[in-house]
């Protein structure tokens, strides 16, 4: 291919060159990613003798923790694809947790999901009113909604839950969904046997399969349907195309007769509903299903981080949510040795990434990654365990590292956070 | 002058009124009497140590809001103040209890260490922003969480901490590092470092209004490209603003720690960082606005206790804080639009009048 830019040598690196290779289809990327993650975890668990890393218990914990983050991240995608930064997801999620506990107390688990979503959507509506109608800075409005969401949830909790539980910080326990077995009993038992046998690779695979498919909660099914549904609505329907056009170039969208305000209102309200739903799933997924003050623990922000991690797209966001969920799950169900073994895994992953970059002739990145791999391995080698206070923040550190390496390749919607007034385009 | 004052007061007054109205509605819906609730909130100021507590909190909020405002001037939203002041506090206490220096020097060094630690915690987000293009909101949110973990780790007994009963804390600061306050007996004790807050506020006012650096900061924040044409590097400004914001943030906990607690414990007061962001918004980053915003915030915070006595959920005060912030930003936006519309009308009128005059002149010329 005669590429005139190629002759420019070094300066060509400043120009975003068209991808020379044909891009892999999304499903292939997903399969490769899953195999790679499973491979690294398996190698780590075998070489460091930590079968816990791929155990079914940790895997089902991962799902429990990843679901709320995924739903909040999905909310973030809805809002930001329409061009509205939504840092108020945390506040909307808090509203959702309260709403879910109240709805669940009155009408059971389905009621919990519905009221959770409605409360979150109300928060989203406030955000839409402030940012779309009044043109307030998106981040400022979001910060205010976070304050407001926490305050309202606490106020309502004092008003309604305190008379029942004698404690303003907790709601009564609400009914949960019954989870069901997907695998036939015999197969589940043999998988469990295989997992216990500790034969390499097979046991790891058995643990993962049993963790994901052993007990299925309706929450998982609903969340996956919403994820897939959102993808189809946003990327495969005229409605979604219009909505995303508001996030890329609202003035152009307006010139084509799209009512940008209405699309933004819809998108932000749905975004709030997803955040509220994330709160509801958090409440329903807990061992004791109930609202507790401070339950979200910044998961709204984490959902936002997962969205950015996934480059504002559902598949990548799911991977981000999985990462956070795994770290949370390991933190809860694992031992400090297992977490320490993750350092070993991180070293392997960084090493593999270095080889990959070398293969793609990106020597500088490869050298950098190799240095990271060596540093992490050295840390693994000299320490016996990691301080437990820091371990729970692994996902945050990973996010920072990912942002540092990938921020330039991320592409947010072009008009994300840009104020838009009808009829003022140039 | 007075007209200008009235026009700049329109938005906040409108916002506080809207917040009062909304909260009254919330109270009425929840079967409480808004008048008695607001009465209790105002009445508590004169009771026990309330007035002094409000003054002390105002000082702390002022520092926090100025930390946020420095970032805002450069269009940076430093969500990380929360983590920066936590790290500033824990590092300052650890260093302060390990060294021994004579009197004044000791607590001055502690303050300096707090500022350095806060700035250091802000340095990574600043670095990531200018070299890797990472948005500061995201990186500082992550840094906040990591700060929580790091602080908890540092006060472990086998690291730098000690165990008192079942709770972890740092070693206590030696007495030479304490800053005594003004003891008013039953009324409480005013922190000595209230003066620090005043100094920070005056310094901030002077820097923004009277120095070249303040001008450059504002110019660069308003339009990085225009400022660059004038020889101001926005990269440099981002780094400096972020580090300054972090350094000021490091001071937030100092009035409480040097004046009252003398240790960093697990029960360290959180939330000043987010409050500071809200107050900076209410006060429009202006030093005077920030002082009044902090006072309002401190008053609302303190009134929570009084609300318990009249059996109104105290969180109504939190809701009021959130509503005021949101209402203020909306009100400013509305006032701005009204002003612009009025200006357009007056320009239109003048243009029409001018056209009329010239048309008359033309008509006269033809005759």
Question: Which sequence spans correspond to the domains of chain B?
Answer: 1-30+313-367, 50-312
pLDDT of A81-107, one tens digit each? 999 999 899 999 999 999 999 999 999
**pLDDT > 50? residue A9:** no
Copy the structure tokens of residue B55.
């003054």
Within 45-104 of A, beta carbons closer than 8 Å to B belong to 87
**pLDDT > 80? residue A79:** yes
Max avg pLDDT among A67-81, A170-184, A207-221: A67-81
Q: Which of B137, B153, B334 sits opposite A139 (nearest CB)?
A: B137
Looking at beta carbons, which residues of chain B come within 8 Å of A145? 322, 326
pLDDT band at B201 (very low <50, low <70, confident <90, very high): very high
Of B162 and B151, which is predicted with more confidence? B151
pLDDT at A2 (0 to 100): 41
CATH classification at residue A107 = 1.10.3470
Q: Mean of the per-residue pLDDT values for chain B?
A: 87
A359 within some domain: no
Of A4 and A213, which is predicted with more confidence? A213
**pLDDT > 70? residue A72:** yes
Enter the pTM of the model.
Answer: 0.86
Best of A73, A145, A147, A327 to disrupt the B interface (most B CBs within 10 Å) is A147
Contact status of A401 with chain B (Cβ, < 8 Å): no
Contact status of A392 with chain B (Cβ, < 8 Å): yes
Q: For the residues B83-95, what does the mean pLDDT come to?
A: 94
A88 within some domain: yes
Chain B: residue whose CA lies nearest to A303: B138
pLDDT at A7 (0 to 100): 37
pLDDT band at B203 (very low <50, low <70, confident <90, very high): very high
Best of A122, A141, A368, A403 to disrupt the B interface (most B CBs within 10 Å) is A403
Task: Give the up-direction half-sphere exposure of residue A33: CA atoms within 13 A in the CB hemisphere.
Answer: 15
Contact status of A407 with chain B (Cβ, < 8 Å): yes
Of B303 and A250, which is predicted with more confidence? A250
pLDDT at A20 (0 to 100): 52
Q: How far is B337 from chain A (nearest CA, A)?
A: 9
Comparing C-alpha atoms, which of B227, B348, B158 is closest to residue A388? B158
Domain at B50-312: CATH code: 1.10.3470.10
Q: Mean of the per-residue pLDDT values for chain A?
A: 84
Please write down the HEC assignment for all residues of chain A.
CCCHHHHHHHHHHHCCCCCCCCCCCHHHHHHHHHHHHHHHHHHHHHHCCCHHHHCHHHHHHHHHHHHHHHHHHHHHHHHHHCCCCCCCHHHHHHHHHHHHHHHHHHHHHHHHHHHHHHHHHHHHHHHHHHHHHCCCCHHHHHHHHHHHHHHHHHHHHHHHHHHHHCCCCECCCCCCCCCEECCCHHHHHHHHHHHHHCCCCHHHHHHHHHHHHCEECHHHHHHHHHHHHHHHHHHHCHHHHHHHHHHHCHHHHHHCCCCHHHHHHHHHHHHHHHHHHHHHHHHHHCCCCCCECCCCCCHHHHHHHHHHHCCCCHHHHHHHHHHHHHHHHHHHHCCHHHHHHHHHHHHHHHHHHHHHHHHCCCHHHHHHHHHHHHHHHHHHHHCCCCCHHHHCCHHHHHHHHHHHHHHHHCCCCCCCCCCCCCCCCC
A349 within some domain: no
pLDDT at B207 (0 to 100): 92
**pLDDT > 80? residue B193:** yes
Chain A: residue whose CA lies nearest to B323: A148
Q: For the residues B143-150, what does the mean pLDDT come to?
A: 90
Domain extent at residue A61? 48-189+199-334
Q: How far is A182 from chain B (nearest CA, A)?
A: 37
Please write down the HEC assignment for all residues of A310-328.
CCCCHHHHHHHHHHHHHHH
pLDDT at A426 (0 to 100): 62
A390 within some domain: no
- Beta carbons of B315 and A155 less than 8 Å apart: yes
pLDDT at A202 (0 to 100): 76
pLDDT of A279-290, one tens digit each? 999 999 888 888
pLDDT band at A4 (very low <50, low <70, confident <90, very high): very low
pLDDT at A15 (0 to 100): 47
A308 within some domain: yes
A114 within some domain: yes
Q: For the residues B168-189, what does the mean pLDDT come to?
A: 82
3-state class (DSSP) for residue B288 = helix
- What's the structural domain count of chain A? 1
């Amino acid at each position: 291919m005669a590429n005139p830019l190629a002759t420019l040598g070094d300066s060509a690196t400043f120009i975003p060159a068209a991808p020379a290779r044909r891009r892999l289809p999304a499903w292939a990327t997903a399969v490769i990613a899953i195999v790679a993650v499973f491979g690294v975890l398996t190698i780590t668990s075998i070489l460091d003798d930590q079968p816990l890393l791929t155990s079914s218990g940790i895997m089902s914990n991962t799902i429990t923790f990843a679901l709320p983050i995924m739903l909040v991240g999905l909310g973030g995608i809805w809002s930001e694809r329409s061009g509205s930064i939504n840092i108020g997801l945390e506040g909307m999620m808090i509203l959702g947790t309260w709403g879910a506990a109240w709805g669940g107390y009155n009408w059971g688990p389905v009621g919990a999901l519905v009221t959770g979503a409605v409360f979150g959507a109300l928060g989203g509506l406030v955000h839409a009113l402030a940012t779309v109608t009044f043109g307030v800075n998106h981040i400022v409005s979001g910060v205010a909604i976070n304050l407001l969401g926490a305050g309202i949830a606490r106020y309502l909790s004092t008003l309604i839950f305190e008379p029942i539980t004698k404690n303003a910080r907790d709601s009564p326990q609400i009914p949960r969904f019954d989870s069901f077995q997907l695998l036939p009993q015999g197969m589940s038992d043999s998988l469990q046997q295989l997992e216990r046998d500790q034969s390499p690779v097979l046991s790891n695979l058995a643990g993962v399969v049993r963790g994901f498919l052993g007990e299925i909660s309706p929450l998982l099914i609903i969340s996956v349907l919403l994820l897939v549904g959102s993808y189809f609505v946003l990327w495969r329907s005229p409605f979604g195309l219009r909505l995303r056009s508001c996030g890329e170039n609202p003035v152009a969208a307006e010139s084509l007769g799209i009512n940008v305000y209405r699309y933004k209102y819809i998108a932000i309200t749905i975004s709030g509903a997803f955040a509220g739903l994330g709160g509801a799933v958090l409440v329903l997924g807990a061992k004791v299903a109930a609202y507790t003050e401070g339950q979200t623990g910044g998961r709204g922000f984490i959902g936002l981080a997962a969205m950015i991690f996934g480059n504002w797209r559902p598949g990548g966001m799911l991977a981000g949510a999985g990462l956070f969920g795994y770290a949370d799950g390991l933190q809860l169900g694992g031992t400090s040795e297992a977490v320490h073994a993750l350092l070993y895994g991180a070293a392997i992953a960084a090493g593999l990434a270095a080889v990959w970059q070398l293969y793609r002739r990106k020597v500088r990145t490869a050298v950098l990654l190799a240095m990271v791999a060596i540093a992490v391995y050295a840390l693994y080698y000299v320490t016996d365990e990691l301080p437990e206070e820091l371990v729970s923040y692994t996902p945050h550190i990973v996010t920072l590292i990912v942002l540092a390496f990938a921020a330039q390749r991320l592409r947010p919607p072009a008009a994300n956070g840009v104020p838009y007034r009808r009829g003022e385009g140039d | 002058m007075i007209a200008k004052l009235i026009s700049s007061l329109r938005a906040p007054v409108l916002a506080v009124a809207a917040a009062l109205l909304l909260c009254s509605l919330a109270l009425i819906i929840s079967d409480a009497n808004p008048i008695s609730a607001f009465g209790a909130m105002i009445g508590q100021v004169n009771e026990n140590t309330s007035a002094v507590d409000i003054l002390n909190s105002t000082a702390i909020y002022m520092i926090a809001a100025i930390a946020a405002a420095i970032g805002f001037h450069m269009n940076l939203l430093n969500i990380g103040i929360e983590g920066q002041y936590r790290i500033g506090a824990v590092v300052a206490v650890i260093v302060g209890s390990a060294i021994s220096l004579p009197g004044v020097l000791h607590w001055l060094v502690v303050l300096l260490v707090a500022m350095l630690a806060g700035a250091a915690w802000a340095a990574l987000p600043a670095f990531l922003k200018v070299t890797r293009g990472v948005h500061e909101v995201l990186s500082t949110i992550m840094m906040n969480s990591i700060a929580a973990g790091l602080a908890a780790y540092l006060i472990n007994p086998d690291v730098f901490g000690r165990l008192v009963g079942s709770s972890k804390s740092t070693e206590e600061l030696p007495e030479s590092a304490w800053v005594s306050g003004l003891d008013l007996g039953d009324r409480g004790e005013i922190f000595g470092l209230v003066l620090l807050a005043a100094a920070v506020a005056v310094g901030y006012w002077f820097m923004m209004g009277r120095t070249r650096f303040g001008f450059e900061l504002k110019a660069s924040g308003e339009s990085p490209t225009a400022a660059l044409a004038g020889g101001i590097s926005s990269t440099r400004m981002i780094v400096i603003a972020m580090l300054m914001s972090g350094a000021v943030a490091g001071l937030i906990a100092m009035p409480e720690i040097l004046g009252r607690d003398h240790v960093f414990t697990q029960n360290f007061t959180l939330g000043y960082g987010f409050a500071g962001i809200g107050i900076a918004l209410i006060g429009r980053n202006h030093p005077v606005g920030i002082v009044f915003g902090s006072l309002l915030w401190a008053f609302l915070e303190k009134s929570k206790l009084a609300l318990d006595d009249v059996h109104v959920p105290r969180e109504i005060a939190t809701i009021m804080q959130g509503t005021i912030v949101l209402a203020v930003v909306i009100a400013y936006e509305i006032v701005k639009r009204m002003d612009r519309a009025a200006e357009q009308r007056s320009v239109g009128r003048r243009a029409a009048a001018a056209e009329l005059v010239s048309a008359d002149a033309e008509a006269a010329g033809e005759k």
